[in-house]
């Protein structure tokens, strides 16, 4: 009896394992047969003997890996060089990039780098300034086509003092960058910026328009200022219909600190939060005003869905996507679930404040930079690929896979493309306009922890753990400690 | 009086256990329901109950690779390889160690046997730091071996002590008879002891299999792509863009079902092993 | 069917020819011991050594001896202290509830009533669910506005305002404990049920003839008999709870603020997100010392219980 049970279990185990292995193996085989077919075809296309291979390390989720994958075969066809792409999710990618570079490994010729890591990497990535000066390259690269904000924030660094920002020009100016003592560490490939998706169907609904006009004496339009934003959010907040005005992302994580700096910038404060002397700059009256407004949205006016204090971009997207809010703020195109009947999404820029007669906005943005491993043996080949893949023509192709482009000309193409505007309405226009005025990050080592300290302060505020002033003071203190731990002496140049 | 009291008590027992059972099953039921909904209905509030069950999530889980770093079937293969090899190695080394502890008297035996058990307390997060650096410098990142060796070590304390319990149930007289027949130590272990403790070894192996199948932290840090195991795949359905609920829950069901089935089938042996021989099956 | 262990009479007769037996024992033990050393002694020595350095993964060349600097810093680091205290609260809270609830469930399942066998089998499901799946499922069930828990509690009129379970330090910690209780109470119940089932019937019968009351039977006969099983469950669960990483990583990731940080998560963040290897090593070392202070007596007790029969 006992023996029977045991035998049957053994058989069961074997059966289950075989099934999983078989089902899994089939799909794996398909994959490998595909890739071998690819390399076979490249072998015939590329002249000469063995195919040259460049290894590229990329991010899985945050920079539309499908977009870059879609153009790699073109490059192989054109040049005979195969680009082997490995992707890893965010934290893994960071660990891998840091470890590879710390070990001076030559394996990856190309790496995609997120802005917060740069401060630690300027001595390990290859400055491409010299390549860019080559007359042949200079003739075709069209650096001035890059959105200046994006270019200066992402890739222009001072090699010996990586925490400094270069002063920006209206157009990317290579000679000026060099004369300031800065270098260029790659070319930006994908920019993510905070935009404001909203429910166009709700804004266009005649009853809503009429009711809003009666109540506020103006047309119901996507808000441009934060005052308007509050009114619109209050107007749409109808908890018994399971509808709220907007989402926010004050959960602990990058998203929280990014929310904070966006609001601080719109109130005229320093959206970088830490200046180039490495001093925290955010315990100012502007910050207190901005955070009072932010906290009131959640706790006083309650124009956000319950649970907001735990939200990251994932939950914010889910809440908006399931029709719970009329507006949201996020870094990507949004989609609605099928139960949101007649839902249409359009995009507008994140509001600002009128200060001295001028609209002040500073949406947070961050860009993935395609950089070259200093220890790679294929510098020139790697540079050629970077130049090609970030070119206007190739970015236009990647647009079809939702790349967030970094060149002005690509935004012009996107806005003229009827297929894209039908799918995403004003997304690309909003994205391009927002990038032009976006605010990046401070350039410190230890960025992850510093950002978490800032986000923790914000989260404490909205969950009622201490006042705004107390939390700003304590988070500032913590940030200073972290900066010191990273080896800086805040206040000194 | 006794009968009526017993009656009330029995009613009370059901009144307590049934709500508790529902509570304990609720998250699992949610997983199953969500996995057979169309992606967009999955998170609708109020929850949608009149939906047409669909297996699209399961199908797409094993089909496309769009938007994912590695396909889920590839991760399942990694999970199977890592946990099966871990279990086999753990069983071999653990049974040998257990036999020594159960049957031999040697200098420092007390210390070694206590120590093997006490390694149970070393948190994965603590041993991870040096292992992460070691694996990196040996260029073993994203390989099966980088997971298997730590997993075997993590499972050894329980394997040794469970198997020790089963070995002690084998009468020494049999082994002594074999020794008289001229069998060597390894022959005794292989030909006499192991056949007698096979059911116990099966239960032990299930425990090791479950532990390595479920392990998260080491897999999170030491794998990237090729050796990535299924639990990491689950966490990766949560992206900046949102959560692919349908596929995530389908994947969850796929990776938990074998464990549930194993646990149900071997529960008696499992208990026997986990109580270190206090109960006999 | 199930009987009490009667191991004592064929207990290990340790081999007599001592000197001759040393060699095979060493060979048999060597692979296991070497493997265990690789994840215990090697990390232990490495951490101890590294904890005296300021070492960042990004700047291997800037490694500098700073003596007890890391230790001095960690005792002033609010997150580290919170990580340690939370770990204690979490482990004792979760395991305490698991033991009480597990005993109750085991006592009910032990009854000879129709359906109990089926219920026992279904009860095994939570402990079979991969921890990361459990944690993420709970996270979304608990998070308003889309979480089912809040929605149905509100629908049933139990609460009128949505509760943000993961939004306050206290309720987030309770949620973490609840997740662990859900995940592992079935494990405790399974072990205790095995204990109950192996109770010798003659003892119980003798007691009922004596006219002992039921609670007296429970306290004076059942509980002492269960001692070994309770000990096994407590020790195995406590150790696992102290080491918890997946649960906190998936459910709260330390939030809100830093209020649910556990020691494992602190070590992970310092080492693998900030790459401060030296500092992380110091924290990990202290964690290891604290754990061994707490768990060594427990493991000793457990070993005595296992071997003394």
Q: All domains of chain A, ordered by start, with CATH?
A: 51-193+365-416 (3.40.190.10), 195-363+443-485 (3.40.190.10)
Contact at CB, C57 and A456, closer than 8 angstroms: no
Q: Which chain B residues are within 8 Å of C131, Cβ to Cβ? A: 214, 216, 231
**Closest residue to B126, CB basis, from C25, C43, C131:** C43
B211 in the same domain as B157: yes
Size of interface A-C (CB pairs under 8 A): 85
B157 in the same domain as B26: no
Tokens matching residue A422: 């039908």
Q: How far is B196 from chain C (nearest CA, A)?
A: 15
Tokens matching residue B202: 């099966």
Tokens matching residue A273: 């939060």
For testing contact with chain C, the best of B279, B280, B281 (most C CBs within 10 A): B279
Residues of chain C under the 70 pLDDT cut: 1-21, 60, 203-205, 207-212, 308-309
pLDDT score recorded for residue B238: 78
Evaluate the omega torsion of the peptide bond into residue C145 and state whether it is cis, within 30 degrees of 0.
yes
In this prediction, residues A395-404 reach a mean pLDDT of 92
Query: In this predicted model, what pLDDT tens digit does every residue of A234-263 receive, in sequence order?
Result: 999 999 888 999 999 998 888 999 999 999
Q: What is the CATH number of the domain that holds B244?
A: 1.10.3720.10
Q: Which chain A residues are within 8 Å of B45, Cβ to Cβ? A: 242, 322, 324
Best CA proximity match to B96, nearest among A292, A59, A93, C30: C30
**Closest residue to B105, CB basis, from C15, C50, C236:** C15
Residue of B nearest to C28 (CA): B96
Q: Is residue B281 part of a domain?
A: no
pLDDT(A27) > 70: no
Best CA proximity match to A244, nearest among A186, A302, A177, A321: A302
Among B12, B34, B59, identify where a domain stops.
B59
Which of A41-45, A227-231, A322-326, B277-281 ranks highest by mean pLDDT?
A227-231
- The position carrying tokens 């092993």 is B273
Q: Is residue B150 part of a domain?
A: yes
Contact at CB, A60 and B136, closer than 8 angstroms: no
Contact at CB, B44 and A242, closer than 8 angstroms: no
Q: Is residue B49 part of a domain?
A: yes
Q: Is residue B111 part of a domain?
A: yes
Between C252 and A30, name the one with better pLDDT.
C252
Please provide the average confidence, as pLDDT, over all residues in chain B.
86
| Torsion angle (degrees, nearest 10) of CA A437, A442, A447, A452 | -70
DSSP secondary structure code for residue A310 in this structure: G
Q: What phi, psi does A184 have (nearest 5°)?
A: -110, 125
Q: Which residues 89-118 of chain B have a CB within 8 Å of chain A?
A: none
How many domains does one find in chain C? 1
Residue of A nearest to B226 (CA): A86
Q: Are C129 and B256 in contact (CB under 8 A)?
A: yes
Q: What phi, psi does A330 have (nearest 5°)?
A: -160, 180
Q: Which chain B residues are within 8 Å of A16, Cβ to Cβ? A: 258, 261
Q: Is residue C69 part of a domain?
A: no
Size of interface A-B (CB pairs under 8 A): 112
B192 in the same domain as B125: yes
B103 in the same domain as B50: no
B81 in the same domain as B51: no
Contact at CB, B45 and A324, closer than 8 angstroms: yes
pLDDT(A145) > 70: yes
For testing contact with chain A, the best of C78, C275, C283 (most A CBs within 10 A): C275
Contact at CB, C274 and A446, closer than 8 angstroms: yes
B197 in the same domain as B103: yes
B260 in the same domain as B135: yes
In this prediction, residues B111-137 reach a mean pLDDT of 89
Query: In this predicted model, what pLDDT tens digit does every residue of A420-478 receive, in sequence order?
Result: 888 899 999 999 999 999 999 999 988 888 999 999 999 999 999 899 999 999 999 99
| Chain B CB within 8 Å of residue A339 CB | yes
Q: How far is B69 from chain A (nearest CA, A)?
A: 6
Q: Are A353 and A224 in contact (CB under 8 A)?
A: no
Q: Is residue B142 part of a domain?
A: yes
What's chain B's Rg over C-alpha atoms? Answer: 24
Best CA proximity match to A56, nearest among A305, A383, A292, A317: A383
Q: What is the torsional sign of CA C185, C187, C193, C195?
A: negative
pLDDT score recorded for residue B26: 93
Q: Is residue C97 part of a domain?
A: yes
Query: In this predicted model, what pLDDT tens digit does every residue of A178-226 receive, in sequence order?
Result: 999 999 999 999 999 999 999 999 999 999 999 999 999 999 999 999 9
Best CA proximity match to C77, nearest among C269, C231, C239: C269
Q: Is residue C20 part of a domain?
A: no
Contact at CB, A60 and B202, closer than 8 angstroms: no
Contact at CB, A23 and B41, closer than 8 angstroms: no
Contact at CB, C58 and A98, closer than 8 angstroms: yes
Q: CA–CA separation, A206 vs A212, rounded Å?
A: 10
Concatenate the DSSP letters of all residues of C129-197 into one string: S-HHHHHHHHHHHHSTTT-HHHHHHHHTTS-SS---GGGSHHHHHHHHHHHHHHHHHHHHHHHHHHHHH
Residue of C nearest to B216 (CA): C246
In this prediction, residues B78-86 reach a mean pLDDT of 95
- Give kind and range of the element (H or E) at residue A372: strand A365-372
The burial of A104, by beta-carbon neighbours within 10 Å (0-12 exposed, 13-18 middle, 19 or more buried), is given as exposed
Q: CA–CA separation, A369 vs A112, rounded Å?
A: 5
pLDDT score recorded for residue C161: 80
**Closest residue to C256, CB basis, from A91, A101, A459:** A459
pLDDT score recorded for residue A23: 40
Contacting residues for B206 by C-beta, under 8 A, at least 6 apart:
B262, B263, B266, B269, B270
For testing contact with chain C, the best of A257, A310, A319, A485 (most C CBs within 10 A): A310
Please provide the average confidence, as pLDDT, over all residues in chain A.
87
**Closest residue to B240, CB basis, from A324, A332, A335:** A332
Contact at CB, C287 and B281, closer than 8 angstroms: no
pLDDT score recorded for residue B192: 85
Q: What is the CATH number of the domain that holds C151?
A: 1.10.3720.10
pLDDT score recorded for residue A486: 81
B92 in the same domain as B50: no
B103 in the same domain as B170: yes
For testing contact with chain A, the best of B224, B263, B266 (most A CBs within 10 A): B224
Q: How far is B79 from chain A (nearest CA, A)?
A: 10
B32 in the same domain as B80: no
CA C78 to each of CA A370, C83, C84, C85, C254: distance values in angstroms, whole numbers, following the listed order: 38, 8, 10, 11, 13
Contact at CB, A27 and B73, closer than 8 angstroms: yes
| Chain A CB within 8 Å of residue C143 CB | yes
Q: Which chain A residues are within 8 Å of B225, Cβ to Cβ? A: 86-88
pLDDT score recorded for residue A460: 92
Q: Is residue C231 part of a domain?
A: yes
Q: Subunits with at least 3 CB pairs below 8 A relative to chain B?
A: A, C
pLDDT score recorded for residue B2: 65
For A473, other C-beta atoms within 10 Å of its C-beta total 14
Q: Is residue B178 part of a domain?
A: yes
Between A29 and B237, name the one with better pLDDT.
B237
Q: Is residue C45 part of a domain?
A: no
Residue of C nearest to A96 (CA): C272
B193 in the same domain as B126: yes
How many domains does one find in chain B? 2
Best CA proximity match to C90, nearest among C245, C279, C284, C257: C245
Q: Are A131 and A378 in contact (CB under 8 A)?
A: no
pLDDT(B249) > 70: yes
**Closest residue to A315, CB basis, from C62, C73, C143:** C143
For C33, other C-beta atoms within 10 Å of its C-beta total 20
Q: Is residue B256 part of a domain?
A: yes
Q: Are C262 and C279 in contact (CB under 8 A)?
A: no
Name the residue range of residue B74's domain: 68-274
Q: CA–CA separation, B256 vs C27, rounded Å?
A: 38
Name the residue range of residue C235's domain: 78-307
Size of interface B-C (CB pairs under 8 A): 316
pLDDT score recorded for residue B281: 44
Contact at CB, A9 and B198, closer than 8 angstroms: no
Tokens matching residue C17: 């020819």
Q: Is residue B280 part of a domain?
A: no
- Give kind and range of the element (H or E) at residue C115: none
Q: Which chain A residues are within 8 Å of B240, Cβ to Cβ? A: 61-62, 313-314, 331-332
B263 in the same domain as B179: yes
| Banded pLDDT at B277 (limits 50, 70, 90) | low
pLDDT score recorded for residue B124: 92
Query: In this predicted model, what pLDDT tens digit does every residue of A339-383 receive, in sequence order?
Result: 788 899 999 999 999 999 999 999 999 999 999 999 999 999 999
pLDDT(B67) > 50: no
For B7, other C-beta atoms within 10 Å of its C-beta total 10
Contact at CB, C284 and B129, closer than 8 angstroms: yes
Q: Are C106 and C193 in contact (CB under 8 A)?
A: yes
- Give kind and range of the element (H or E) at residue A249: none
Q: How far is B49 from chain A (nearest CA, A)?
A: 13
Q: Which chain C residues are within 8 Å of B119, Cβ to Cβ? A: 36, 39-40
**Closest residue to C164, CB basis, from A94, A306, A448:** A306
Tokens matching residue B198: 């096979």
In this prediction, residues B234-248 reach a mean pLDDT of 80
Q: Is residue C303 part of a domain?
A: yes
């Amino acid at each position: 009896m006992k023996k029977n049970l045991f035998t049957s279990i053994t058989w069961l185990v074997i059966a289950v394992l075989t099934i999983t292995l078989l089902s899994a193996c089939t799909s794996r085989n398909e994959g490998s047969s595909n890739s071998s077919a690819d390399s076979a075809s490249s072998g015939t296309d590329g002249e000469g003997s063995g195919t040259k291979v460049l290894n590229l390390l990329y991010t899985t989720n945050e920079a539309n890996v499908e977009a870059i994958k879609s153009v790699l075969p073109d490059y192989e066809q054109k040049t005979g060089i195969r680009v082997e792409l490995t992707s890893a999710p965010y934290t893994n990618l960071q660990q891998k990039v840091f470890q590879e570079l710390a070990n001076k490994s030559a394996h990856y010729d190309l790496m995609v780098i997120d802005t917060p890591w740069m401060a630690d990497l300027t001595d390990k990535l290859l400055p491409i300034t010299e390549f860019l000066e080559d007359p042949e390259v200079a003739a075709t690269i069209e650096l001035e086509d890059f959105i200046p904000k994006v270019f200066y924030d992402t890739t222009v660094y001072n090699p010996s003092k990586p925490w400094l920002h270069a002063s920006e020009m209206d157009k990317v100016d290579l000679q000026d960058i060099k004369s300031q003592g800065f270098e260029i560490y790659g070319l930006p490939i994908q920019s993510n910026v905070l935009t404001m998706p909203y429910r166009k169907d709700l804004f266009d609904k005649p009853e809503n328009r009429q009711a809003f006009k009666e109540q506020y004496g103006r047309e119901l339009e996507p808000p441009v200022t934060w005052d308007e934003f509050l009114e619109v959010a209050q107007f749409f907040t109808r908890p018994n219909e399971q509808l709220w005005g907007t989402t926010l992302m004050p959960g602990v994580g990058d998203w929280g600190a990014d929310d904070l700096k966006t609001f601080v910038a719109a109130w005229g404060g320093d959206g970088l939060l830490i200046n180039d002397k490495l001093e925290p700059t955010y315990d100012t009256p502007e910050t207190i005003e901005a955070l009072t407004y932010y906290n009131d949205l959640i706790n006083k006016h309650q124009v956000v869905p319950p649970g907001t204090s735990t939200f990251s971009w994932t939950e914010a997207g889910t809440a908006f996507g399931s029709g719970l809010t009329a507006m949201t703020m996020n870094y990507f195109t949004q989609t609605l679930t099928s139960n949101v009947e007649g839902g249409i999404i359009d995009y507008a820029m994140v509001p600002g404040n009128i200060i001295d007669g001028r609209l002040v906005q500073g949406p947070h943005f961050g860009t993935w930079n395609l950089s070259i491993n200093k220890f790679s043996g294929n510098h020139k080949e790697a540079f050629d690929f970077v130049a090609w893949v970030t070119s206007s023509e190739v970015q236009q192709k990647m647009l079809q896979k939702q790349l967030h482009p970094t060149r002005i000309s690509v935004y012009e193409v996107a806005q003229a493309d009827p297929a894209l505007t039908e799918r995403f309405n004003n997304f690309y226009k909003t994205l391009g306009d927002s990038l032009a005025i976006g605010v990046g990050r401070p350039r410190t080592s230890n960025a992850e922890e510093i950002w978490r300290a800032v986000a923790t302060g914000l989260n404490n505020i909205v969950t009622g753990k201490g006042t705004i002033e107390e939390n700003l003071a304590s988070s500032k203190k913590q940030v200073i400690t972290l900066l010191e731990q990273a080896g800086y002496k805040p206040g000194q140049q | 009086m006794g009968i009526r009291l017993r009656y009330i008590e029995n009613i009370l027992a059901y009144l307590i256990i049934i709500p508790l059972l529902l509570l304990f099953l609720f998250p699992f039921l949610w997983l199953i329901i969500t996995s057979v909904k169309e992606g967009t209905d999955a998170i609708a509030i109020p929850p949608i109950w009149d939906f047409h069950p669909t297996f699209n999530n399961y199908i797409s889980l094993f089909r496309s690779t769009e938007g994912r770093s590695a396909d889920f079937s590839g991760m399942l293969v990694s999970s199977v390889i890592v946990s099966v090899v871990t279990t086999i190695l753990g069983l071999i080394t653990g049974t040998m160690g257990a036999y020594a502890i159960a049957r031999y008297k040697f200098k420092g035996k007390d210390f070694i046997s206590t120590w093997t058990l006490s390694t149970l307390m070393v948190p994965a997060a603590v041993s991870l730091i040096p292992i992460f650096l070691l694996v990196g410098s040996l260029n073993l990142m994203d390989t099966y071996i980088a997971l298997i060796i730590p997993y075997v070590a993590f499972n050894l304390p329980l394997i040794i002590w469970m198997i020790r319990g089963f070995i002690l149930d084998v009468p020494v007289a049999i082994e002594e008879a074999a020794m008289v027949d001229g069998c060597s130590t390894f022959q005794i272990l292989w030909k006499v002891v192991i056949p007698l403790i096979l059911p116990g070894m099966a239960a032990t192996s299930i425990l090791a299999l479950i532990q390595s199948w479920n392990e998260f932290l080491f897999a999170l840090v030491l794998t990237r792509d090729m050796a990535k195991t299924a639990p990491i795949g689950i966490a990766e359905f949560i992206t900046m863009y949102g959560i692919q609920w349908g596929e995530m829950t389908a994947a969850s069901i796929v990776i938990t079902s074998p464990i549930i089935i194993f646990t149900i089938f071997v529960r008696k042996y499992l208990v026997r092993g986990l109580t270190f021989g206090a109960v006999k099956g | 069917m199930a009987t009490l262990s009667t191991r004592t009479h064929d207990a290990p007769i340790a081999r007599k020819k001592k000197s001759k037996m040393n060699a095979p024992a060493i060979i048999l033990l060597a692979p296991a011991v070497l493997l265990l050393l690789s994840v215990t002694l090697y990390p232990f020595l490495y951490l101890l050594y590294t904890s005296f350095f300021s070492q960042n993964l990004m700047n291997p060349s800037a490694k500098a001896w700073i003596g007890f600097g890391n230790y001095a810093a960690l005792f002033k680091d609010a997150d580290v202290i919170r990580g340690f205290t939370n770990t204690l609260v979490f482990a004792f809270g979760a395991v305490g509830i698991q033991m009480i609830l597990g005993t109750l469930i085991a006592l009910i399942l032990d009854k000879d009533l129709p359906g109990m066998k089926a219920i026992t089998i279904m009860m095994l499901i939570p402990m079979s669910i991969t921890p990361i799946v459990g944690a993420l499922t709970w996270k979304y069930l608990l998070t308003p506005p889309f979480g089912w828990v809040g929605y149905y509690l509100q629908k049933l009129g139990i609460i009128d305002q949505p509760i943000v379970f993961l939004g306050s330090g206290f309720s987030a910690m309770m949620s973490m404990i609840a997740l662990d209780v859900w995940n592992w109470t079935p494990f405790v119940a399974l072990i205790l049920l095995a204990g109950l089932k192996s109770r010798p019937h003659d003892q119980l019968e003798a007691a009922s003839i004596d006219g002992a009351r039921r609670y007296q039977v429970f306290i004076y006969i059942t509980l002492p008999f269960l001692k070994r099983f309770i000990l096994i469950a407590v020790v195995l669960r406590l150790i696992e709870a102290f080491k918890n990483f997946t649960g906190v990583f998936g459910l709260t990731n330390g939030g809100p603020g830093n209020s649910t940080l556990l020691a494992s998560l602190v070590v992970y963040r310092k080492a693998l997100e900030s790459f401060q290897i030296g500092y992380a090593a110091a924290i990990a070392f202290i964690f290891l010392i604290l754990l061994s202070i707490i768990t060594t007596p427990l493991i000793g007790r457990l070993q005595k219980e296992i071997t003394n029969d």
